[in-house]
Each structure stands twice: as C-alpha cells, then as structure tokens.
Amino acid sequence: MPTSSSVLSRLRPLTGPRYGWLAGLPVLALVWVGAASFAAPSVEQALESAGARIGAEASAGSPEPWLRVSAFGRDLIAKGEAPGPAQEDAALRRLAALSGPRLIRSEVSLIGEASPFVWTATRGGGDAIALSGSRPAEIGRAALAALVTADLPATTRLSDEAKAARGAPPGFPAAAAFSLARLRELAKGGTATLTGSVIEIKGEALSVAAYDALRTAFAEPPRGYSFGRLEILPPTVADARFGVERRPDGGLVLTGHVPTEAARAGIRAVAAETAEGAFVDDRTQTARGLPAAVDADALARFSLRLAGLLRQGEVRFADGRVSVSGDALDSQAREEIAGLLRDARPAGVGAGSVAVGASPLSPYKVAIRREADAVVLTGHLPDAAARERLLAALRPRFFRERIVDRTRLAEGAPAGLAEALEAAVPSLATLASGEVAVADSVLTLSGESLYRQSAQRLTDSLPRALPPAWTGRVTVQAPGAPSQSDAETCRSRFASETARPLVFEPGSALLKTGFYPQLDALAALVKACPGLRIAVSGHVDPPGTKPKPATDPAVPQTASIAKNAASKNAAARNGAAKSAVAKNTVTKSVAKDAAPGKAPAPNASKDAKPGAKPGPSKKPETAAKAAAAHGTVATNAVAPVPPATTDGAGTAAPAEDKAETKAAATVASSDLAAPEPDLARQRALAILDYLLAAGVPLDRIVVGEASRPAALGIGFEPRP
C-alpha cells in the first residue's frame, strides 16, 4: 500500500510551473461573461439609435417613418414599406455602412397597388384588435390608428400588421372606424372586412343588447359603402324562455327569446292568426339557449295554440316546462288545454302547472259571416242540438258555398238564440256579402244588398221576425249607395279638401284645369254629407291687376262677356217683351233641370260628350247666354225655398218640383232688367255650374258675397 508521502510526490508535478495557468481559467471566464453582459446592451442600444436615425432620414417627406429598424444583439432587422426601389436600396446601403452591425436582415417591402383593396380587423381577447391586409399608403399608420379608434375606449389595443398599399376607396377611415365599433359588439374571433367599398361582418354577439345594437347600426351603411354578408349569431343566454299573454280584448303579447329572425317572422304570422285581427305586441328578444332537444318553432306554435283557448291569461315556458294560467274560453276549452298538455307537447318540453278557470260568457257572442265562397260560423252555441239546428237552416240557403263551423259550446246563451239565428238566415241569404252578429239578445245584420229594394225591406222585416225581447239592427248598403259620414267627419274632410284656395286668372272667370280634382272631391264629399250644404263665394282681383290676354281666340274673356252683357241689357230695355220671353224660357229650363234627382249643367252644349268637364261655350254669344242662365240659377239657389225635410236616417228629402219652379219663375220675372253679375259673382257661378254638373243637388249650394283676400271661399252651413 503506497504511503502518503508517495501520493504527495505524484501530485506535486501538477502544481508545478508547467500546469499552474489552468487555475486562472475560471477567473478569466467570469471576467469575460461580465464584460459581455455589460457591453452587449450598450452595443444594441447604439445600433438601434443609429438605425432609427437612418430610418427617420430615409422617411423624410412621407406621412410617417416607413423604415423601422430593431437590433438583436449586433444584428439589425429592417422592416417597413418603401415608397420605391431607390429609397429601399439607399436605406439598406446606409445601414450596411455602420461599423457596429454583424448582420443586417431586410424585411422591407415596396408600396404597390392593391386590387382588390382588402382590410381585415379581428377581435381578440379583451380589448385587443388585430389588423391585417392593406391600409392606405397616403395615411400614416399612427394617423390611421388615431382616426379609427377615436370613438373606442382608451383601453383598446391595436396590433396593426396591415401593409401600406395604394387603391383604398374614398372614405376608408370612416368605414374602418364604423367596422371597429361594430366589432366591439362581437365575441372573440369576430371579424370585420372591407373589400373595396363593401363591408362584411361575422361573429357572435356578446349580449342581447349588443345584438339589438348591431341590428340598428346595420340599418344604414357609411356614406359610399354597402353591406355584403352580415353573419351575426345571436348571443347564448342561460335562461332561454318563451311566453304568450292573452289580453281581454283578444290581443297577444309575445315575450321571451327566439333563436333567429326567420323564426320570429314565422311566430308573428301564427300569432296574427291566433289573435284574429287583434293587436300582437312582439316583445321577444333574439337569443339562443333553448335545450338542444327543443324545437323553438314547435314550442312557439304549441304555446300559441294554448293561448288561443284562453279568454285572458298566460302561457309560459321556463325551466323546460310549459305552464298555463288564466280564464279559458269556456268549459270545453279547459278540457282541451289539459288534453294538449298531456298528449301534444313538443319533444323535450315538460308539463308545468295549470291554473285555468271558466267564467260565464259576457256578452254571449255568435256570428255568421258570408264570404265569397264560404259561410263561416264563429262564437258560441249552447249545445250540439242548437248547432245542428243552425246548420240545417243554412244548408238549403247556401248550398253552393262551403259552411265552415268554428263555433264552440258554452252555457249562458240568451233565450231564443236558435230561433233568432234561424230568422236571420233568410235575410243573410239575400245579401251579396254580410254578417249576422249576436251579442246577448241583440242581433245585427250588416253587409251589401243585391237589390236596393230588398235593403229597405230588410230594415222593416227582420226586427219583426225575431223572438220576443230580442232587438234587431239592420245596416245594409244598397249597391252603389254612397257611404254617409257624421257631421264632425264631414267638417274635418271639408277643411282638408279646401285647404288650397282656388284662385282665378286676373280678369277671368274661367275654371283652370287644376281646379277639377279639388271640385270633384268636394262634390263627392257633399254627397256623403246629406245634412250639410256649402256656400260658394268668388273673389275679386287685387287693385291694379291687369287681365291677361286671351290665349285662345275661341274662348271669350271677361271683357267680351261684359261687352256682350251690356249689349244684351240694351236690347232688353229696347225690347222688353222679347227679352222677357227669352229670359222666362231660360229660367224655366233651369228650374226644370234643377229638379230633384237631376243635376243641371247650364254650360252643356248639344254636342257635349258624357263625362266631359263643364266649361264655357266656344262662342262668345253662347257664353253670354250661359252667364245669364248662371245668374238665374244662383238667384234660385238663394231664394226662399220650402225647408228640406229629413228622413229617419238623416238624408235630406228634396223639395217639390212645383215649389222650385214657382220660385224660379218669380225670380225671373223680377230680374229682366238686372245688370250682368260682377266678376266675383261670375267666378262663384262658374264653381256653382261645375258642382251642379257633378251631381250636387241645387238645394245644397248657396252663393255668398265676394271673399277677401283674393281667394275662393267655400264653407259649411247647417241645413234648416
């Protein structure tokens, strides 16, 4: 075994002069690492500073520095979009001339034309938005970022990797800002893309409020842009539900959630059928979240079917079950609701609570409606025997039409209901279209009669045919009979029709073509308002107004009418007998034409065509005669006439022919030497003539004084 002295003798040479330098290597390594760690940051910073200086000098004159230089150790990385090859080469040569870099890596590209110009924004997590594609070269990156994020929260973070390019459409910053604002309403992964001037947005809405905000924003695109594909998924909610509320007036209120807009449209259509004309208030929100096994359309239709059996109440789906509460239409409806919940529920839907009562019907209603090819029965009947009795009365009378029975059975019918309906069936059969409606013990027959005589006969016969204690009402229109309006409606319509005054040409009493539509509407209004009459007043021209020259030599103007009138007056003074005969002849003719049921047309010539607009005669002497006739008619209109009587319906009964003829003759005998009417009166007579020709009875018009200011005045006056 070697001794300790021998071991020491072997180790001693390693520490001798030949190997002593190895002991200093660790120290040297530590010194080198320390020097490198202290020197590297300063070299990197120096290189980045030099690169940034070169980038700023190379980008002089551009919207923003296009050359971006970063250092990684002693390596330089150049990025950006150079305006041209010359600028790119110059920048890289200057970087290569630096003494510090070991390697220069170029990622510089050239600005070119982008066609199509595509810019895309993608929603990331939180407030992060990544931009890619192309951005306008004429707008700097920083400037564009400031424009598109002006209305976004300050926490928004843009990661802009879009390349500068030419070819951006006008208004790009506004369209990009609009797209980014919509993108904030979408969940992570949503995208907004501008392809030329078309905006496309895809993604899932963050919430119901966000979905509604997107629908509102998509109503109008930015100026100069249009929408392409807008694929917005509704949000997903944890408590998806659906409900239908039935109101006492028959209206429906829809609440809860629908999965798509298409589903909403279908549900509204079914709700409108269920409401049968009553108002449907849609308060649903678009959202997903129903269980996968539940079909949203089937659930909505089932809920509406249940609501149709309620007089008032609510059908509600929540937590996977359908519940019903409220008042049923009748006792039969209670059984039907229970049966539907038991046997007809959609897949995946459970049965919830049922709290449905059945109160007595008030009022008790039933209706028989005659349509084009069917007779439809709705409402309630007391029992099956009453239903068969009614159908037996209908079949022989309406053997060509389909009989659609939608009646239900319910207690509480008024006594004699079946007898009353049987008595009304023959009357309904005489109508072209109509309805028999019963509310308790009041029966109403309405519609349009085939014949005028039968309409009056029904008014007398139907009430007598009903059982005792029943009330019958008949509101049947005869063919072509104008509908009548109440006094307040007449006044309102009259104010609307006469809002625009009728102003004649200076010096002229001729009707303009533009007057015809207003006068036609006024004539129709007078026919629909038998309890009122109108007052017609002409207008005078403002002082200093000169008459316009005649544009048609065949049409006489006021001056020629006045001249002919003066000649006629002179002739009347020199030959009173001859003028009296002519005047009486005209007056009697007018009085005869003004008889009830016949509308006089003083200006009508022998050659006038049916339906032609009334107007002046083509010959001056004929126009003078017409003016004289007008004067006679106007005087007759305001002369004392026996008061018109009214029938039970408020329709004015015409005066007797003899009374009108006598009044006209009296006026004619006292008006032989009267001067020709002045200009304002001539204008009023022209309007009067047109209305008479349009079928307005003579006793419904009076001529008033000249109106001021220069405009035609027409007003209602209560009939005596």
Lowest mean pLDDT among 419-428, 431-440, 454-463: 454-463
- CB of 519 closer than 8 Å to CB of 640: no
- Helices 516-528 & 679-693, crossing angle to 10 degrees? 60
**How would DSSP label each residue in 17-51?**
TTTGGGGGHHHHHHHHHHHHHHHHHHHHHHHHHHH
Question: Residue 165 and residue 194: Cα distance in Å, rounded?
Answer: 14
Whether the pLDDT of residue 588 is over 50: the answer is: no
- CB of 631 closer than 8 Å to CB of 684: no
In a domain, 293, yes or no: yes
Tokens of residue 71, six digits: 């250092």
Whether residue 382 is found in the same domain as residue 341? no
| Partners of 474 in the β-ladder | 445
CB atoms within 10 A of CB 465: 16
Exposed/middle/buried for residue 447 (C-beta within 10 Å: 0-12, 13-18, 19+): buried
Number of H helices, E strands in the chain: 19, 30
Torsion of CA 534, 696, 690, 623, to 10 degrees: -100
Kindly report the backbone phi and psi dihedral angles of residue 195, in degrees, each rounded to the nearest multiple of 5, phi listed first.
-115, 100
Coil, strand or helix: which one is 162?
A: coil
In a domain, 563, yes or no: yes
CATH number of the domain that 440 lies in? 3.40.1520.20
- 549-572 pLDDT, tens digit per residue, is 544 433 344 334 334 433 433 333
In a domain, 33, yes or no: no
Specify the residue for token string 């330089």: 76
Which of 177, 107, 180, 165 has the alpha carbon at shortest distance from 134?
165
Question: Residue 564 and residue 550: Cα distance in Å, rounded?
Answer: 16
Instruction: Please give the pLDDT value at position 14.
Output: 45
Mean pLDDT of the chain: 75
347: Cα separation from own chain's centroid: 38
Instruction: Please give the pLDDT value at position 570.
Output: 39
Mean pLDDT of 693-706: 74
Torsion of CA 607, 610, 611, 615, to 10 degrees: 20
Whether the pLDDT of residue 302 is over 70: the answer is: yes
In a domain, 28, yes or no: no
Question: Residue 582 and residue 586: Cα distance in Å, rounded?
Answer: 6
Whether the pLDDT of residue 716 is over 80: the answer is: no
Mean pLDDT of 458-486: 81
* Last-in-domain residue among 62, 83, 110: 110
* Residue 246 CB contacts under 8 Å (≥ 6 apart), including other chains: 252, 307, 310, 311, 312, 313, 314, 315, 326
| Partners of 409 in the β-ladder | 381
Q: What residue numbers bound the domain in which 384 lies?
A: 365-477
Instruction: Please give the pLDDT value at position 101.
Output: 75
3-state SS of the chain: helix, strand, coil percent to 5? 40, 25, 35
Lowest mean pLDDT among 128-142, 662-676, 688-702: 662-676
Domain count, the chain: 5
- CB of 476 closer than 8 Å to CB of 452: no
In a domain, 194, yes or no: yes
Whether residue 329 is found in the same domain as residue 370? no
Whether residue 195 is found in the same domain as residue 298? no
Buried b (16+ CB within 10 A) or exposed e, 189-206: ebbbbbebbbbbbebbbb
Whole-number Cα distances in Å, 637 to 641, 642, 686, 698? 8, 12, 14, 6
- 335-365 pLDDT, tens digit per residue, is 999 999 999 999 999 999 999 988 888 889 9
Give the confidence band of 62 by pLDDT, cuts at 50, 70, 90.
low
- CB of 74 closer than 8 Å to CB of 50: no
- Check residues 192 and 590 and name the one with the higher pLDDT: 192
- CB of 434 closer than 8 Å to CB of 474: no
Whether residue 540 is found in the same domain as residue 636? yes
205: region left, alpha or beta (phi > 0 left; psi from -120 to 50 alpha): beta
Kindly report the backbone phi and psi dihedral angles of residue 663, in degrees, each rounded to the nearest multiple of 5, phi listed first.
-65, -40
Coil, strand or helix: which one is 305?
A: helix
Whether the pLDDT of residue 133 is over 90: the answer is: yes
Which of 135, 61, 76 has the alpha carbon at shortest distance from 108?
76
Whether residue 582 is found in the same domain as residue 435? no
Whether residue 509 is found in the same domain as residue 471? no
Specify the residue for token string 């419904």: 700
Instruction: Please give the pLDDT value at position 55.
Output: 65
Give the chain's radius of gyration (CA, Å). 48
Give the confidence band of 501 by pLDDT, cuts at 50, 70, 90.
confident
Exposed/middle/buried for residue 246 (C-beta within 10 Å: 0-12, 13-18, 19+): buried
Residue 190 DSSP class: -
- CB of 186 closer than 8 Å to CB of 206: yes
Give the confidence band of 229 by pLDDT, cuts at 50, 70, 90.
very high
- Check residues 420 and 411 and name the one with the higher pLDDT: 420
Question: Residue 548 and residue 550: Cα distance in Å, rounded?
Answer: 6
Whether the pLDDT of residue 616 is over 90: the answer is: no
Whether residue 133 is found in the same domain as residue 187? yes
Exposed/middle/buried for residue 445 (C-beta within 10 Å: 0-12, 13-18, 19+): buried
Beta strands of 161-236 (E only): which ranges? 163-166, 191-195, 198-204, 226-233
Instruction: Please give the pLDDT value at position 61.
Output: 61
- CB of 699 closer than 8 Å to CB of 641: yes
Total count of residues recorded for the chain? 720
Whether residue 372 is found in the same domain as residue 348? no
- Peptide bond preceding 346 in cis form (omega within 30 of 0): no
* Last-in-domain residue among 292, 324, 357: 357
Question: Residue 161 and residue 719: Cα distance in Å, rounded?
Answer: 85
- CB of 311 closer than 8 Å to CB of 328: yes
In a domain, 39, yes or no: no
Question: Residue 482 and residue 225: Cα distance in Å, rounded?
Answer: 52
State percent of the chain over pLDDT 90. 38
Buried b (16+ CB within 10 A) or exposed e, 167-186: ebbeebbebbbbbbbbbbbb
- pTM for the whole thing? 0.51
Tokens of residue 618, six digits: 């083509």
- 241-267 pLDDT, tens digit per residue, is 999 999 988 899 999 999 999 999 999
In a domain, 209, yes or no: yes
Whether residue 188 is found in the same domain as residue 252? no
Whether residue 106 is found in the same domain as residue 125? no
- CB of 133 closer than 8 Å to CB of 147: no
Whether the pLDDT of residue 512 is over 60: the answer is: yes
In a domain, 5, yes or no: no
- 392-412 pLDDT, tens digit per residue, is 999 999 988 899 999 998 888
- 157-180 pLDDT, tens digit per residue, is 999 889 888 899 999 999 999 999
Question: Residue 519 and residue 511: Cα distance in Å, rounded?
Answer: 10
Element (H, E) at 633: helix 620-638
- 647-694 pLDDT, tens digit per residue, is 333 333 333 343 333 333 333 333 333 445 688 888 888 888 888 877
Tokens of residue 226, six digits: 């249009």
Whole-number Cα distances in Å, 435 to 270, 374, 413? 25, 12, 19
Whether the pLDDT of residue 624 is over 60: the answer is: no
Tokens of residue 166, six digits: 């030419």
Whether residue 616 is found in the same domain as residue 669? yes
- 194-222 pLDDT, tens digit per residue, is 999 999 999 999 999 999 999 999 999 99
Whether residue 509 is found in the same domain as residue 633? yes
Whether the pLDDT of residue 5 is over 80: the answer is: no
* Last-in-domain residue among 357, 391, 417: 357
Question: Residue 151 and residue 144: Cα distance in Å, rounded?
Answer: 13
Kindly report the backbone phi and psi dihedral angles of residue 343, in degrees, each rounded to the nearest multiple of 5, phi listed first.
-120, -15
CATH number of the domain that 546 lies in? 3.30.1330.60
